[in-house]
Structure 1
Amino acid sequence: MLISAFGSWSTPVTAELVITAAVGISDVRADGAAVVWSERRPAEGGRCQLVRCGPDGTLTELLPDGFDARTSVHEYGGGDWWLRDGVIWFANWADQRLYRLESGVAEPLTPEPAVARGDRFADGDLSADGTFLVAVRERHSGSEVRNEVVRLAASGPGEPEVLVTGPDFVAAPRLSADDARLAWISWNHPSMPWDDTVLTVRELATGEETVVAGGPGESVSQPQWQPGGSLYFLSDRTGWWNLYRWSPGGGVEPVIVLDAEIGVPGWQLGTQRYVPLPDGRVVFARWSDGYDRLAIAAPGDAVTPLDLPFSAVAALRPAGGEVVLIAGTPTEEPGVYRVSADGAVRTIRAPRRTGLDPAYVSVPEAISFPSGDRTAHALFYPPANPEFAGPEGTRPPLIVMIHGGPTASAVPVLSLGVQFWTSRGFAVVDVNYGGSAGFGRAYREQLLGEWGVVDVADCLAAARWLAAQGRADGGKLLIRGGSAGGYTTLAALARPDTPFAAGTDMFGIADLEVLAADTHKFESRYLDRLIGPYPQAREVYVARSPIHRAAEFGRPLLVLQGADDPVVPPNQSELIVDALRSRQLPVAYLLFEGEQHGFRRAENIRRALEAELSFYSQILGFELPAGEGIEPVEVENLRSSR
């Protein structure tokens, strides 16, 4: 075994390998004996292709050249496509119009909007008789954005008919099995879908409406009609997203209630986390103690865990008496699987094989640690490389990773983006700070009014606790995050007592006031709950904005930003970069043309990873491994700061 400084180890987990494995699967559906899923392909500029696996295992790419099944409703998308009997309906990225795809031919169903990409569609449902669709439409007209449920013909072009309008947001329009009723979710500013939502049912013949569930303090989601006319949905009325059933003329009754999260935050549309089977049992995924696992239960009966290795489940869909799903494990990336009620698994789309020796894979450990008078949670990844060890008496540098959202969570599934670091000798901790999902509503609400406080405290506590445990070098602590995680990164560095030696901010927020005035509709009032109403709470916005604490920065910073980001525009990154430049502090800035909120193009994913490694090597003083051809990143003012 070779002895070399942590961070300098040679590894097969190169940026090129990360890109090869970065083909993401975002949704799956069964169509008879066939299964269709969507693949995000960095090598094709981030395009989402639909792939069909036939009963004999034959794979067919379904979208013609020039089409990309991806919606930008809420900017985060989801619910991009749906299908029946070999016909697919999808939103096309370039123009956001809704298309019908049959026998390899894609025809538009919706008219060309008055504003380019101004009419966006998502989260649709097909009527039982196959004649019409219902879907979410987000209409952009000047500065006005309207979110509505519309109905349109399933097989020919035409102007959609508005069914639901008025609420600030709508989601999950679902038709009953006899097409007589429509269910949908709605909410209004300043709530987000994990705060307060309402589930409504309308009799389409009479227009009579019934509020089924929801309201202040209750988040409902994922309605699904059952053949007998009852409606399943998720609600967190007990503090956990559990499963309930409503019957017309009756009431609401619990189906599955446990101290675990079946639901997830509604950042994207079209999410489905449970599948009722024909025999009355329900297969579902539930988050508990930082891990996501499958289980099955009959209404009112005990829950039976399915003995499967999956630790993260992205989608569950019905497939006759079985389910199809996207799932991954701590040692395998997500794949597509068919699972029976007894837990038998058939692989439909295997995880992409990288040829990586398992000895290079760092398996996450779920940890809990003190943070003031609270307990916070994280996933800890130790360094893993069978060919190297660090010099005797030394400990690895630690990268504190911060998920976006901030109402999201660290996911315990194999990510070569994490192994890129651990196989080089870094330890990594992925923090589920107070406010993260997966630990119940009370934990999620720890961040209300406290963004920039609780998240920062928990990230600092994780780093200090691991250093105190001897699992990391307390003098070589690093922090990185994107979007909301970028804000936490900046806030953690903008303090004189920061323990971090450097940080990487990816499209993060520097000025909360600017964000409140210059972001998209979906998140335009998010800060009302996380910070306070603006401008009434302006003093808090100023106090917690890293740009107003630039004088307290004393650590090098790398900033990575997409030029076309509508969620966190480039001015946020430029504000903090200019502030550090004016103080002649070490800073590096890379702006990626054609990228939005997150990097999708292969060349940009590669450059961002390698630039970050180069940045840390310059800050911590280790040599880059030879043979990878890593282009150094220029860190301004680095020499003058030493």
Structure 2
Amino acid sequence: MSVDDAVRASVSYDQLRTGGGSLYWLESRPDAGGGTTVRRWRLGDGKRDVSPKGFDVASGVHAYGGGSFAVAEGTLWCVGGDGLFRCRRGDDQLELITHGSFGDLTVGDGELLAVRESEQGDAIVTVSFTRASQMRTLVSSRGFLGAPRPGPGWLAWTAWSDRDMPWDACEVWAATYAGGVTENPVKLAGGPEESAVEPQWGPDGALYFVSDRSGWWNLYRWDGRKVEAVAPIPGECAAEPWELGYSSYGFLDGGRIVAVVQEGPRHRLVVIESDGTVRPVDLPYTSIKPYLALRGTTVALIGSSPTAAPQVALVDLADAGPRVEVLARPEDAGLDRARVSPPTELRVPVASGREVLALVYPPTGAAADWRAPVIVRVHPGPTASCLLRLDWQAQFFTSRGFAVVDVDYLGSTGYGRVFRESLYGRWGLDDVEDCAAVAVHLLSTGRALPGQVFIRGASAGGYTALHAVAQDGPFAAATAVSAIVDPDRWAETVPRFQRAHAMRLRGGAGPVRAAQIQRPVLLVHGTADEVAMVEDVRELAEELTSLGTVPKVLLLPDVGHYVASSRRAGAALEAELAHYRSVMAEAANDQRRLHGGQR
């Protein structure tokens, strides 16, 4: 597989929406410059782009965006650049409504609702479909707001303070809503030890939401008087809310609810019957994004598996056996025939008595007793998780003889609230220990080749990777992409949404210090990164060079925090591969020199 193949196949689908008999989604195409387009599918009409060509539909609200478009009465409302726009049916021109940072666009009764962010805080605002220039504020906060969801005579939303992340402490509120005015707001769930997210009004008039008060994000219902559990499940029924606009559950005809449940690296779809019975849905997907869109007995989802790239699919749940129709997937015949390396699950005990789970991708076509160089990948977040889905960038390396290992280190999502919170104050310590334990296990069992075990990570994972080679351990080299270098400085420069996260994580290993780096490193960073400042990486590279340990550095002009989805993703992959091969070649040369001297 060429690097161009890997980039071309890394198409991303997000933010499913229904409206007017059509299904809409965001589609990002790295081979087309990394821009994001709104696509529409309609039965009998097929797929087509509905956002103007060349316009990148993307929200910067809360740094990570979400809910960046909505469609109502044939008009596309979307966020891009530094403003809110609309594009009427049959018109390829965007009309700027107002400047600002917007997200979580939601269609109400004759109006658009959205979250608007500023340095002073958040507001839930409305824009009239007929008088778009008139914007009104419904709710405001010095902290953060999300999920404006109108119901019959009500408005629900989420709120959390600027001292918290929404997965730590988030509240669900509701207020009467009539004549464009909210009154008598009441907090229904959430608090310092509870994360309540994703409110939705059900067809029965009740307000549903997901709360982790039991230790797992599960579904609850408020009927206007009391809150009750809908269906206790030992799994996560919501994703960690890095973005706005998530929809992890929805309502089918007949009083049924469909929901995505995460258990470790796996997702599954379940139907909750009206009596609370939970019934699994047999699907060919092991990873499902938190964007469900429902109509009648059909659910649209974005699913993938270790052998199937992410795809938009319709699942008909009218009968006992679900019927799946794929609407969109990366379209390249050569890649459809490409051999892939599916992963196996590995559980490794660590010193504290825990087990750490990893997904191991062997080299493509390898025998059962394979031995190979290994790349241990540290997912970003750290509240993210490794997922059972086809990752073409992993396949890029497995097709070149490497094994790739994804680690669900302490702090990952999919294992409950306690596990998720346990990395606070231990960042750079327990995550490094977990990754090292997996590497040592692969070495001790003869899978990994000595001196050919590498670690790579992006964002917070880059910080972990750098600390892993700042001590004696199993790793021969590290690649750090969009890396955080100094947690204290990062807490001062990171966007306001993530400051609380930075404050809670720090206190473990401290800053990455050049004098402690013991192995070769590759630093890949976008010069337009607004989450992890490129200046910190430049400074680290200069310090390493002054100490005689010259790092490899790839700075990507005008690229932001997400290198993997940028137009320079191919260059980053090539640099990473060259980095590992150079370390392996140098080790081989050392061995030859050693043996030559012995003779």
Contact 2:116 2:122 in 1 (8 A): yes
Taking the TM superposition and a 5 Å limit, the aligned residue runs for 1:202-601 are 202-205=175-178, 207-248=183-224, 250-314=225-289, 315-341=291-317, 342=319, 343-356=322-335, 360-373=339-352, 374-385=354-365, 395-495=371-471, 497-531=472-506, 540=507, 544-547=510-513, 550-599=514-563
Contact 1:334 1:413 in 2 (8 A): yes
1:600 is displaced (CA, Å) by: 6.1
Please give the secondary structure, in 1, of the residue aligned with 2:300.
Answer: strand
Aligned match for 2:172, one of 166, 187, 199:
199
Distance in 1 between the 2:335 and 2:204 partners? 49
Aligned residue identity for 1:193: P
Counterpart of 1:620?
584
Q: Are residues 1:120 and 2:97 paired?
A: no
Give a deviation string over 1:318-373, Cα, whole Å, max 9, x none: 12321111111110111111112242111111343452476731111122211112
Please give the secondary structure, in 1, of the residue aligned with 2:461.
Answer: helix
Q: Report the count of equivalent residues.
A: 579
Q: Flag the 1:98–1:77 CA change in 2: closer, same or farther, 3 A.
A: same
Counterpart of 1:637?
none
Please give the secondary structure, in 2, of the residue aligned with 1:473.
Answer: strand
Give a deviation string over 1:503-558, Cα, whole Å, max 9, x none: 10001111112111111111122122222xxxxxxxx47x52113xx222121000
Contact 2:51 2:76 in 1 (8 A): no
Please give the secondary structure, in 2, of the residue aligned with 1:29.
Answer: strand
Aligned residue identity for 2:146: A
Distance in 2 between the 1:66 and 1:155 partners? 27
Contact 1:24 1:39 in 2 (8 A): yes
Aligned residue identity for 1:147: D
Please give the secondary structure, in 2, of the residue aligned with 1:337.
Answer: strand
Counterpart of 2:591?
none
Aligned residue identity for 2:103: A
Q: What's the TM-score, normalizing by structure 2? A: 0.93
Give a deviation string over 1:419-449, Cα, whole Å, max 9, x none: 0111111111101001000111111111122
Distance in 1 between the 2:370 and 2:501 partners? 43
Distance in 2 between the 1:137 and 1:75 partners? 12
1:601 is displaced (CA, Å) by: 6.7
Counterpart of 1:50?
38
Contact 1:385 1:425 in 2 (8 A): no
Which stretches in structure 1 are left out of the alignment for 5+ residues?
1-12, 114-118, 532-539, 624-642
Contact 1:260 1:439 in 2 (8 A): yes
Contact 1:434 1:458 in 2 (8 A): yes
Q: What's the TM-score, normalizing by structure 1? A: 0.87
Please give the secondary structure, in 1, of the residue aligned with 2:230.
Answer: strand
Q: Are residues 1:87 and 2:75 paired?
A: yes
Give a deviation string over 1:473-524, Cα, whole Å, max 9, x none: 23211000100000001111111x2211001000111111211111111112
Distance in 1 between the 2:547 and 2:25 partners? 50
Contact 2:252 2:295 in 1 (8 A): no
Aligned match for 1:135, one of 114, 125, 147:
114
Q: Flag the 1:622–1:344 CA change in 2: closer, same or farther, 3 A.
A: farther
Counterpart of 1:99?
86
Distance in 2 between the 1:76 and 1:48 partners? 14
Counterpart of 1:29?
17
Contact 1:126 1:154 in 2 (8 A): no
Which stretches in structure 2 are left out of the alignment for 5+ residues?
588-599
Aligned residue identity for 2:524: L
Q: Flag the 1:264–1:381 CA change in 2: closer, same or farther, 3 A.
A: same
Distance in 1 between the 2:197 and 2:293 partners? 16
Distance in 1 between the 2:431 and 2:91 partners? 48
1:85 is displaced (CA, Å) by: 4.4
Please give the secondary structure, in 2, of the residue aligned with 1:279.
Answer: helix
Q: Are residues 1:67 and 2:24 paired?
A: no
Aligned residue identity for 2:510: R
Distance in 2 between the 1:358 and 1:60 partners? 26
Please give the secondary structure, in 2, of the residue aligned with 1:447.
Answer: coil
Q: Are residues 1:110 and 2:97 paired?
A: yes
Contact 1:109 1:156 in 2 (8 A): no
1:622 is displaced (CA, Å) by: 8.8
Please give the secondary structure, in 1, of the residue aligned with 2:528.
Answer: coil
Contact 2:34 2:567 in 1 (8 A): no
CA RMSD, 1 decimal? 2.1
Aligned residue identity for 2:207: L
Distance in 1 between the 2:218 and 2:292 partners? 16
Please give the secondary structure, in 1, of the residue aligned with 2:254.
Answer: coil
Quick check: 559-568 or 393-402, which moved more?
A: 393-402
Distance in 2 between the 1:460 and 1:299 partners? 47
Q: Flag the 1:235–1:328 CA change in 2: closer, same or farther, 3 A.
A: same
Aligned residue identity for 1:214: G
Counterpart of 1:7?
none
Q: Flag the 1:63–1:466 CA change in 2: closer, same or farther, 3 A.
A: same
1:620 is displaced (CA, Å) by: 0.6
Counterpart of 2:594?
none
